[in-house]
Structure 1
Amino acid sequence: MNPVNTDTIRPSGREALLDHEARLVYEWAVRHRRVEPADRARIARDLGLTEARCRRAVDLLAALCLLVRRPGAERDCYTTVGPEAAVARLTGQEEARLRLEEAELGRRQAALARLRAEPASLAPVYRSQGGGSDGSVRLLEDVHVLRSAAESVVGAAKEEVPAIRPGGGHPEKALAQSLPLDLELLARGVRLRSVYQHPTRFDPPTRSFAELVIAAGAEIRTRAEVSAQLVVVDRTTAFVPARPATGGALLVREPSLVAYFVRVFEHEWSQAVPYDTAPTAARTVSRDVPDVIAVLLAAGEKDDTTARRLGMSTRTCRRHIAELLARLGAQSRFQAGVPAEREGLTVPADVRADVTAPR
């Protein structure tokens, strides 16, 4: 059998491969056990089609292996094939090709693992001869080194991975890359807690990712403003930002520093609200964001700085500022100072909570 090029018959979008005309022609062919060149005029007449439309339907059925050429017969003399047999003919070679590609991918992944392992095996020699630091704080100079180290350390987690992830929405590619590892960690019983910013609730890729990992057991909360990016693994290792231009980070194993970063996370976690996309959650975050904006305005922050700290666009931030001024009945930011202070908005939310909490 000649190979079938499925690329030539693959539909675009949600378009069906088999249209109504092709189905009618297949039904006619099954009833008459054949389709020959001399039959096309009859098929067109019986089904109310033009010969060109009939020819197109026959070609499509042949491409899908629902019609196959009779052995020894002239060209375009076909007999019908059942759908199950057609599927086997059509997909058999494609499945075999995919199996070969999977085997090749496995071979390349194994080679990559060996490539990583060989230089890494010299790390004890490097440290024993005084190379680098004592290992308690190590600079990962760019995003590629960081990604490799993070995959290794996080992938070996046994108990928990708390993380602070700033930004209003996370890149879809990065989310797709981290999803398998997160699901694997959750399946092993590792506790995953993350603090995001409020706008992630309204970013479709981040929201889809969050809902998937929450369903698998992860815990996610959000705040209007969070501290810098932070990942802690089993309370023994932390990753914190460094070298912003190259996307590098510090890998920290010094116990006192790691303990400090754990306290930073726990503070952020205690001030955050559970992740939800329901209307009640939207109302909660819509009250929280203006309060933080009031604090930042009182501190004299510019619009673009405020927007960056809140993980939103400058345009969205300015809309929130306008709504805050209208709520306070102020015509300018200067005029907003007195009513904002009177309402206690210029005091950070976590401080207000501490002051008003019952003793």
Structure 2
Amino acid sequence: MAGLQPEDRELFEDEATSLYEQILAEGGLAADDSRLAGTTPVRRAFDLLTELGLLQLDETRKTWRPVEPSNAQSRVVTPLGTEGARLIDESARWAKAFSNLTQSWRRSPAATESGPFLYLHGEAISPYLTAIIGDAETELLTAQPQTTRSAKTVAEGAVRDVAALKRGISMRTIYQHSARRHPATHKYVADVTRHGAEVRTLDEFFNRMIVVDRRVALIPAADSLATAVVVREPAIVAYLVDVFERAFARGRPFASGEQKVMKEIATEQRSMTMRMLIEGHADAVSAKRLGVSARTYAGYVAELKDEYDAETRFQLGYIMGQRGIAGQETSGG
């Protein structure tokens, strides 16, 4: 049925459905019912019911009678479903046309003339990222060092990445160990691994990076987290891929033997906390390196103080130095 708008559906849900059920219970509605006068909500609901063919006038009794809804439903829903399918097909055709155009641009001199680097700022980053992942043909490599992303951002990433995986794109991701304590990341990992992605975690800090088809990389700018750099220089992209491969080889599978792995990870984070203390890093820097909050890092330090019977951080560092501890140990001192 042509002409129906979202506000018509809202009126149908809020007012017309109740009126229809009331008329059904009463066996009809008199044509001269006072509630139909003027432009009241009841009158608007009544007009919609008659437009949809859910009420029919009994001329003999001058009464509006309810009509079985299935015919009206098919007149409303079937065209909408047909139009939805048409729009989805049209959207796919436009996407394919743009994809072909993009491939032509990449092969043209214009792509080279635009330079191997592109700086993106603020809100421009997410649409660009969605576009290049949508254009991926074979592989996605991603490194996500921190778990400060909101649940909404992680969920949006899951939708985007699962769509790529369903197209047959292979995907490998590295997180820091702290991601294992982030519920939204757990759900994301469950979603993408179900579709074939591989996810591992590391104890060490690394910068965020996304590499698409080993031809384009997205990395943060050195001076601003709100700026990203798109890299298309083949030698630099190859170098970044090599860095990723080495890190991924050292990572631990996200959900393999989780209880045992979590114990090993706790040991690795303990050792890294020691290294941060021995090297004299500030708490904020150390927390970032471990991918945890400053409060969590302070808890790690407090545990080491208790373990080594130290009252201050200075004393803790002195005791570890006296015992020759270098932060590479795999068990308690």
Both structures adopt the same fold (TM-score exceeding 0.5): yes
- Residue deviations 1:116-163, cap 9 Å, x none? 46754532x775xxx588xxxx323336597488437x7122xx5443
Partner of 1:35 in structure 2? 29
Give the conservation status (yes or no) of the 8 Å contact 1:239–1:249: yes
Q: Residue type of the partner of 2:274?
A: A
Partner of 1:250 in structure 2? 231
Using the TM superposition, give the Cα deviation of residue 334 of structure 1 relative to its aligned residue in structure 2, in angstroms. Answer: 1.1
Q: Residue type of the partner of 1:81?
A: V
**C-alpha distance in structure 2 between counterparts of 1:173 and 1:277, whole Å:** 25
Closer, same or farther: CA 68–238 of 1 in aligned 2, 3 Å? closer
**C-alpha distance in structure 1 between counterparts of 2:310 and 2:230, whole Å:** 43
**C-alpha distance in structure 2 between counterparts of 1:70 and 1:213, whole Å:** 53
Q: Which residue of 269, 276, 283 maps to 1:296?
A: 276
SS at match of 2:217: strand
Using the TM superposition, give the Cα deviation of residue 299 of structure 1 relative to its aligned residue in structure 2, in angstroms. Answer: 1.2
Q: Kindly indicate whether residue 211 of structure 2 is the aligned counterpart of residue 217 of structure 1.
A: no
Partner of 1:239 in structure 2? 217
Using the TM superposition, give the Cα deviation of residue 239 of structure 1 relative to its aligned residue in structure 2, in angstroms. Answer: 2.6
Partner of 1:81 in structure 2? 67
SS at match of 1:155: coil
Note the 1:62-211 alignment, pairs <5 A.
Answer: 68-70=54-56, 78-92=64-78, 94-95=80-81, 98=84, 102=88, 105=91, 109=95, 112-113=98-99, 116=102, 120-123=106-109, 138-142=116-120, 147=129, 150-151=132-133, 155-157=136-138, 160-170=139-149, 172-173=152-153, 176=156, 179-185=159-165, 188=168, 190-211=169-190
Partner of 1:322 in structure 2? 302
**C-alpha distance in structure 1 between counterparts of 2:30 and 2:99, whole Å:** 57
Give the conservation status (yes or no) of the 8 Å contact 1:183–1:213: no
Note the 1:278-289 alignment, pairs <5 A.
Answer: 280=259, 284-289=264-269
SS at match of 1:308: helix
Structure 1 unaligned regions, length at least 5: 42-54, 354-359
Q: Residue type of the partner of 1:223?
A: L
SS at match of 1:70: strand
Give the conservation status (yes or no) of the 8 Å contact 2:56–2:67: no
Closer, same or farther: CA 112–175 of 1 in aligned 2, 3 Å? farther
Q: Residue type of the partner of 2:25?
A: W
Using the TM superposition, give the Cα deviation of residue 314 of structure 1 relative to its aligned residue in structure 2, in angstroms. Answer: 2.8
Structure 2 unaligned regions, length at least 5: 36-40
Q: May I ask how many residue pairs the two structures share in their alignment?
A: 315
Closer, same or farther: CA 126–170 of 1 in aligned 2, 3 Å? closer
Using the TM superposition, give the Cα deviation of residue 212 of structure 1 relative to its aligned residue in structure 2, in angstroms. Answer: 0.8
Q: Kindly indicate whether residue 233 of structure 2 is the aligned counterpart of residue 264 of structure 1.
A: no
- Residue deviations 1:307-356, cap 9 Å, x none? 222233333333433344334432221122245457886424xxx57xxx
Question: Considering only aligned residues, what root-mean-square deviation do their CA atoms show, in Å?
Answer: 4.9
Using the TM superposition, give the Cα deviation of residue 220 of structure 1 relative to its aligned residue in structure 2, in angstroms. Answer: 0.6
Closer, same or farther: CA 184–24 of 1 in aligned 2, 3 Å? same
Q: Residue type of the partner of 1:206?
A: T
- Could you state the TM-score of these two structures normalised by the residue count of structure 1? 0.64
Q: Residue type of the partner of 1:332?
A: T
Give the conservation status (yes or no) of the 8 Å contact 2:161–2:192: no
Q: Residue type of the partner of 2:172?
A: R
Q: Kindly indicate whether residue 316 of structure 2 is the aligned counterpart of residue 336 of structure 1.
A: yes
SS at match of 1:167: coil
**C-alpha distance in structure 1 between counterparts of 2:186 and 2:50, whole Å:** 39
Using the TM superposition, give the Cα deviation of residue 268 of structure 1 relative to its aligned residue in structure 2, in angstroms. Answer: 2.3
Q: Which residue of 264, 267, 290 maps to 1:310?
A: 290
Using the TM superposition, give the Cα deviation of residue 247 of structure 1 relative to its aligned residue in structure 2, in angstroms. Answer: 0.8
Q: Which moved more, 1:330-339 or 1:273-282?
A: 273-282
**C-alpha distance in structure 2 between counterparts of 1:78 and 1:343, whole Å:** 94
Using the TM superposition, give the Cα deviation of residue 37 of structure 1 relative to its aligned residue in structure 2, in angstroms. Answer: 5.8
- Residue deviations 1:97-134, cap 9 Å, x none? 645754675576467557646754532x775xxx588x
Using the TM superposition, give the Cα deviation of residue 79 of structure 1 relative to its aligned residue in structure 2, in angstroms. Answer: 2.6
Closer, same or farther: CA 186–90 of 1 in aligned 2, 3 Å? closer
SS at match of 1:325: helix
SS at match of 2:29: coil
- Residue deviations 1:222-260, cap 9 Å, x none? 1232322344566x54636363433114334239x83x5
**C-alpha distance in structure 2 between counterparts of 1:103 and 1:214, whole Å:** 28
